[in-house]
């Protein structure tokens, strides 16, 4: 048998194939050439030559033209999965982004006066109304919003914070680093497990720029622990005339204690405690696009809005459109629960989840021997770390593959399906799957069986 590498076809000859010509009529020429050349290069190194060039080139072109950022099906049951883009948006937020994105907009234009308007005004009144604050400001993300406030209040000055709150959130977000990058001097008080109001009181001095209280996302402290109520710290700050900031982490705008979820502060409560500014993410429990919302006092927020860093951390029109539309849903809490996907997923009850799991199991190829088991979903994103969200999981037998191999194939499918693995079973949690995704999930599993 002759070595196929010795008689490699010329690029020109491949291009003359009518099927390839047909492909060139609707795919970028440069991409087609690129696929052919790179296949030739691998063949010269001993790689295989395609038996069906047109099919090979078509597949190569499709792979190369697929966007890098694309939708994924999340079957992990982790609602706020930071790696998977945190909050899925409500339909009204998506259409607001679409309509603002496809044309010009009032981003910095006041239609009444015909003069320049303020980007910072969009959604500001709504956010202030929903949280009971004097005013609101939106930055690129919560980390950025915090950096901005610390720069405004405490550059070169001391920021008092409890040792129990010098936390890492993940994704290299550490409170001490944020403080350092703002030029603020860390003034730690208390101990890891216990901090008292008197610790704050004693630390206040002429160099104090601000008191910072950080909500402990991601973990719960149990045992011999003590922290003053955030409201007492805010009041202490007020009585000394010192600015105070509360980093709430997740932007929970409505009370969800009826779901047994009580460990996250509702933003309006935090505002009521008396902090000058409360900071939170737009894409965690609030359920909107990535943003860093600040709500609080007029004087402070107006200073912050004029700081040079506010320009560096400003949000774009798509974010503002999506955020404003998401916030609008909160005018009626029941509407928010029904339409903001994060809240909708949080609210799914056990009966609903069981029905969804049954439908899913019924659609999945029998060879996986789908089985229903009870389990737990997670809120994720550092919010409600101790929450128990009972769910019904669809458990699959990956044989003849190992669970890891099946998960890998599912991940590499189109759309990618991200699953959980436990004891060599692949688990699907219906909580985070869209209602209409059953047949897509079934097809993804069918495709993963094919060699
Ligand atoms: C998530 C979180 C942040 C960071 O928010 P981003 O919007 O991702 O920048 C800051 N502080 C706390 C307490 C958080 O939970």
- The string of pLDDT tens digits covering residues 246-255 is 999 999 999 9
What's the whole-number mean pLDDT along residues 405-416?
96
- Compute the distance from residue 219 Cα to the ligand 1 centre, in Å: 14
What per-residue confidence (pLDDT) applies to 91?
98
- Compute the distance from residue 278 Cα to the ligand 1 centre, in Å: 12
What's the whole-number mean pLDDT along residues 402-430?
97
- Choose one of 138, 176, 284 to mutate for the ligand 1 pocket test, by most ligand atoms within 8 angstroms of C-beta: 284
Percent of the chain predicted with pLDDT > 90 = 87
The domains of the chain are located at: 11-65, 73-82+343-449, 91-338
Q: Could you give the CA distance from residue 188 to residue 176 in angstroms, rounded to a whole number?
A: 10
Q: What is the number of other CB atoms lying within 10 angstroms of the CB of residue 370?
A: 22
- Minimal-distance CA residue to ligand 1 atom 15: 249
Q: Which helix (DSSP H) or strand (DSSP E) does residue 26 occupy?
A: none
In the beta sheet, which residues pair with residue 391?
A: 375
The pLDDT-based confidence of 6 (bands split at 50, 70, 90) is low
Q: Would the CA dihedral through 18, 19, 23, 29 be positive or negative?
A: negative
Q: Could you give the CA distance from residue 228 to residue 194 in angstroms, rounded to a whole number?
A: 9
Token duo for residue 383: 């919010």
- Compute the distance from residue 291 Cα to the ligand 1 centre, in Å: 10
Is 3.40.50.12160 the CATH number for 91-338? Answer: no
What per-residue confidence (pLDDT) applies to 8?
83
Higher pLDDT, 226 or 203: 203
Closest ligand 1 atom to Cα of 146? 10
Is the pLDDT confidence value at 160 over 70?
Answer: yes
In the beta sheet, which residues pair with residue 375?
A: 391
Q: Could you give the CA distance from residue 438 to residue 436 in angstroms, rounded to a whole number?
A: 6
Is the pLDDT confidence value at 369 over 90?
Answer: yes
Q: What is the number of other CB atoms lying within 10 angstroms of the CB of residue 150?
A: 24
The class (CATH top level) of 73-82+343-449 is: alpha beta
- Compute the distance from residue 283 Cα to the ligand 1 centre, in Å: 10
- Choose one of 79, 149, 219, 247 to mutate for the ligand 1 pocket test, by most ligand atoms within 8 angstroms of C-beta: 247
Best CA proximity match to 434, nearest among 412, 417, 422: 417
Higher pLDDT, 44 or 209: 209
What per-residue confidence (pLDDT) applies to 389?
95
Closest ligand 1 atom to Cα of 145? 9
**Residues lining ligand 1, Cβ inside 6 A:** 141-143, 169, 173, 214-215, 217, 247, 249-250, 281, 292, 382
- Compute the distance from residue 135 Cα to the ligand 1 centre, in Å: 21
Is the pLDDT confidence value at 323 over 80?
Answer: yes
Cβ neighbours of residue 214 closer than 8 Å, sequence gap 6 or more: 161, 165, 167, 175, 246, 247, 249
- The string of pLDDT tens digits covering residues 250-304 is 999 999 999 989 899 999 999 999 999 999 999 999 999 999 999 999 999 999 9
Chain centre to alpha carbon of residue 75: 16
Is the pLDDT confidence value at 1 over 90?
Answer: no
Closest ligand 1 atom to Cα of 383? 15
DSSP string, 87-123: PPPPHHHHHHHHHHHTS---TTEETTTTEE--GGGTT
Higher pLDDT, 385 or 426: 426
DSSP summary character for residue 13? H
- Minimal-distance CA residue to ligand 1 atom 1: 249
Q: Would the CA dihedral through 206, 209, 215, 216 be positive or negative?
A: negative
Q: Could you give the CA distance from residue 261 to residue 245 in angstroms, rounded to a whole number?
A: 24
Which has the minimum average pLDDT: 57-66, 80-89, 399-408?
57-66
- Compute the distance from residue 74 Cα to the ligand 1 centre, in Å: 22
- Minimal-distance CA residue to ligand 1 atom 5: 142
Higher pLDDT, 393 or 387: 393
What per-residue confidence (pLDDT) applies to 5?
52
Closest ligand 1 atom to Cα of 144? 9
What's the whole-number mean pLDDT along residues 409-422?
96
Mean pLDDT, the chain, whole residue set: 94
The pLDDT-based confidence of 218 (bands split at 50, 70, 90) is confident
Is the pLDDT confidence value at 322 over 80?
Answer: yes
Question: What b-and-e string marks burial along 249-259, b requiring 16 or more CB atoms within 10 Å of the CB?
Answer: bbbbbbebeee
- The string of pLDDT tens digits covering residues 298-311 is 999 999 999 999 99
What's the whole-number mean pLDDT along residues 214-220?
86
DSSP summary character for residue 408? H
The pLDDT-based confidence of 21 (bands split at 50, 70, 90) is very high
What's the whole-number mean pLDDT along residues 419-440?
96
Closest ligand 1 atom to Cα of 214? 13
């Amino acid at each position: 048998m002759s070595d196929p590498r010795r008689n490699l076809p010329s690029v020109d000859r491949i291009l003359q194939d009518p099927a390839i010509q047909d492909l060139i009529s609707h795919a970028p020429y440069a991409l087609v050439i690129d696929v052919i050349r790179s296949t030739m290069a691998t063949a010269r190194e001993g790689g295989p030559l395609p038996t069906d060039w047109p099919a090979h080139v078509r597949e190569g072109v499709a792979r190369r033209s697929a966007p890098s950022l694309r939708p994924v099906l999340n079957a992990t049951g982790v609602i706020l999965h930071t790696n998977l883009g945190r909050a899925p948006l409500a339909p009204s937020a998506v259409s607001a982004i679409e309509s603002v994105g496809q044309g010009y907009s009032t981003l910095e234009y006041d239609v009444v006066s015909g003069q320049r308007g303020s980007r910072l005004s969009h959604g500001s009144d709504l956010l202030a109304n929903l949280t009971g604050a004097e005013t609101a400001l939106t930055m690129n993300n919560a980390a950025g919003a915090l950096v901005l406030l610390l720069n405004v209040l405490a550059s070169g000055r001391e920021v008092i914070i409890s040792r129990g709150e010098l936390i890492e959130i993940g994704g290299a977000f550490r409170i001490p680093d944020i403080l350092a990058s703002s030029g603020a001097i860390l003034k730690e008080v208390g101990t890891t497990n216990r901090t008292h109001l008197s610790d704050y009181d004693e630390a206040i001095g002429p160099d104090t720029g601000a008191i910072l209280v950080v909500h402990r996302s991601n973990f719960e402290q149990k045992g011999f622990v003590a922290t003053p109520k955030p409201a007492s710290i805010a009041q202490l700050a007020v009585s000394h005339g010192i600015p105070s900031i509360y980093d709430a982490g997740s932007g929970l705008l409505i009370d969800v204690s009826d779901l047994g979820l009580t460990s996250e502060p509702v933003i309006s409560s935090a505002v009521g405690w008396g902090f000058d500014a409360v900071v939170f993410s737009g894409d965690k429990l609030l359920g909107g696009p990535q943003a860093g919302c600040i709500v609080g006092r007029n004087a402070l927020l107006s200073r912050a809005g004029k700081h040079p860093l506010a320009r560096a951390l400003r949000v774009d029109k798509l974010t503002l459109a999506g955020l404003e539309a998401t916030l609008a849903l909160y005018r009626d809490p029941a509407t928010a629960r029904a339409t903001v996907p994060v809240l909708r997923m949080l609210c799914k009850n056990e009966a609903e989840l069981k029905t969804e799991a049954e439908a899913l199991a019924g659609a999945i190829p029998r060879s996986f021997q789908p089985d229903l088991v009870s389990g737990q979903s997670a809120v994720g994103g550092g919010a409600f770390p101790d929450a128990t969200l009972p769910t019904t999981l669809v458990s699959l037998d990956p044989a003849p593959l190992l669970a890891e191999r099946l998960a890998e194939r599912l991940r590499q499918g189109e759309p990618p399906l991200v699953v959980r693995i436990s004891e060599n079973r692949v688990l699907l949690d219906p909580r985070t799957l869209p209602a209409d995704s059953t047949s897509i999930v079934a097809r993804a599993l069918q495709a993963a069986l094919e060699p």
